[in-house]
Amino acid sequence: MIWDHDDDKPREECGIVGVFNHPEASLLVALGLHALQHRGQEACGITTYDGEKFHNERHMGLVGENFGGDLTSRLPGSAAIGHNRYSTAGKPAMRNIQPIFADLANTGFALAHNGNLTNAVALRKELISKGAIFQSTMDTEVVLQLVARSNRRLMRERFMEALQAVEGGYAFVGLTNKKLIGARDPVGLRPLVLGKIGQGWVLASETCALDMIGAEFIREIENGEIVIISEEGVESFRAFPERPESPCLFEYVYFARPDSIVQGRSVYQVRRRMGHQLARENPADVDVIVPVPDSGVPAALGFSEQSGIPFQLGIIRSHYVGRTFIEPTQHGRQKSISKKHSPNKSVLEGKRVLLVDDSIVRGNTSKKIVQMVRDAGAKEVHLRSASPPIVNPDFYGIDMPTKGELLASNNSLEQMRNFLNVETLGFLSVDGLYASIGIKRDMTMPQFSDHCFTGCYPTRLVDQMQEEGGKDRQLSLLD
């Protein structure tokens, strides 16, 4: 995985969409993926079934670049699934674009996945030792292999058996010749929602995808739930013992689109409240509040509302610059950061400026933006993060640096302040983040997965333990 040192954000996970019983299924999936483009910009794919055979298209690049024109002629059928990719397991390559597909006994099976399996490496090694042949480096293919080797009679039983062998954070959409399948991991780390459009059904990572295609939101798929959608309707099954839901906090902090609804909460309003709480916890004596665009905007608005300090667009972000990780040289990447962000000198010059961002990961981009604001004539530059310090990496589908590369993991607040070259630096507390969501943090009961801030991981990290030489070595993960 190529980590972009100059576009210093946690990498989006992936976006998934499924549609069943609609004559324009592929078109609806494409529109849904377009709404979820923020979750993955590397590649995209759609698989459909037309009653007789499966059709598949996979491309590098954005949805709008690849899925225009008369899509229902190219990808016919009333059932379809699609995927936006930003690779967290498996390097960028055509063979790693989803949905993945295999011919199984009695049906074809297409599968798309948002998340990351924490025992995929161990399972892959064991499957290969038993004769499995892999066509990709994705952890998603592990699930496909497990389904293929299952001796269970019903497809839902085979899929359920496969999920019982894997660990980690995931949401799946799968497609057979008769059914659309959705599944969510036992603690609900990765999101999945159910919608309805006419007589058809929709599964998607976020409600904004339902809004895009005009579907009615029905409910969230519950943690540990498998839904089977067929001509008979929607059936629900449980693959695991019931556990408390513990979704990832980063959906609120960064990943979900602001107009999405997560657990009945407006993401936009939560982020505004994060700004309110940040202003209460870390006030600043400044002249102007400036968001780091675009993800820092709601929190900066909230900070301004709580503090009474004016909100101004002091940094203008271009949306027409390619992602900096594709630049072939360090010089090219450094040029790209200046192309992406431009200072609004009329707002910044001679002012004491408070920058508000959603999070700070490595700190490289923050440092460059601070210097850019200083060069534009700011008298002082202060910085606030609307999330707690990120001190631990994620292993559930968020691509971010190792623990050793995380700024907050290796430096005191004063060391970070000096590195970023700001007058003051402040972070939202973990308790403050919970309060912004509207609940009081309970240390005895998992309410959210906050492992990036606390180090409390909700599952075993089998592959990580084995990589680090830990004791969590199993002779067999399949038997």
- Among the candidates 214, 246, 278, a domain finishes at 246
Check residue 86 and give its pLDDT. Answer: 77
Q: What integer pLDDT is reported at residue 190 of this predicted model? A: 95
Cβ burial 283-314 (10 Å sphere, 16+ → b, else e): bbebbbbbbbbebbbbbbbbbbbbbebebbeb
Q: Cis ω on the peptide bond leading into residue 294 (within 30° of 0)?
A: yes
Q: Give catalytic status of residue 14 as yes or no.
A: yes
236 and 292 in a single domain? The answer is: no
- Residue 463 belongs to some domain of the structure: no
Instruction: Kindly state whether residue 1 falls inside one of the protein's structural domains.
Output: no
Last residue of a domain, one of 217, 246, 275: 246
Q: Select the more confidently predicted residue: 415 or 40.
A: 415
pTM of the model as a whole: 0.90
Same domain, 214 and 306: no
The answer to whether residue 356 sits within a structural domain is: yes
| pLDDT tens digits, 365-419 | 999 999 999 999 999 999 999 999 999 998 887 777 788 899 999 999 999 999 9
| Domain that includes residue 189, residue range | 14-246
Quick one: 164 and 234 in the same domain?
A: yes
Phi, psi of 450 (to 5 degrees): -115, 30
Known binding residues for Mg(2+) are 295, 357-358
CA 276 – CA 309 distance, rounded (Å): 12
**In a shared domain, residues 110 and 183:** yes
Of 71-75, 83-87, 130-134, the poorest mean pLDDT is in 83-87
The reported pLDDT for the residue numbered 324 is: 40
* 431 to 263, 277, 298, 349, 453: CA distances (angstroms): 19, 10, 19, 35, 11
Whether 308 and 410 share a structural domain: yes
pLDDT in the model for residue 269: 98
Answer yes or no: do 117 and 177 share one domain: yes
Claim to verify: residue 411 and residue 353 sit in the same structural domain: yes
Mean of all residue pLDDT scores within the chain: 90
**Which range has the worst mean pLDDT, 120-124, 207-211, 368-372, 459-463?**
459-463
Residue 178 lies in a domain: yes
> Is 304 found in the same domain as 229?
no
Does residue 414 lie within any of the structural domains?
A: yes
Residue where one domain finishes, among candidates 222, 246, 270: 246
Domain of 46, CATH number, reads 3.60.20.10
pLDDT band at 469 (very low <50, low <70, confident <90, very high): low
> What's the domain count of the chain?
2
Whether residue 238 sits in one domain with residue 333: no
In a domain, 456, yes or no: no
CATH of the domain at 334: 3.40.50.2020
Kindly report, residue by residue over 196-229, the tens digit of the pLDDT: 999 999 999 999 999 999 999 999 999 999 999 9
Residue 38 lies inside a defined structural domain of this protein: yes
Same-domain status, 227 and 340: no
Q: Are residues 92 and 140 in the same domain?
A: yes
**Same domain for 211 and 131?**
yes
271-306 confidence digits (pLDDT tens):
999 999 999 999 999 999 999 998 899 999 999 999
> Which one of 14, 44, 208, 248 is the catalytic residue?
14
Crossing angle of helices 413-420 and 364-375, rounded to 10°: 50
**Model pLDDT, residue 9:** 60
Cβ atoms of 137 and 89 within 8 Å: the answer is yes
In a domain, 135, yes or no: yes
386: Cβ contacts below 8 Å, ≥ 6 apart:
253, 271, 274, 275, 278, 296, 299, 356, 357, 358, 359, 428
List binding-site positions: 295, 357-358
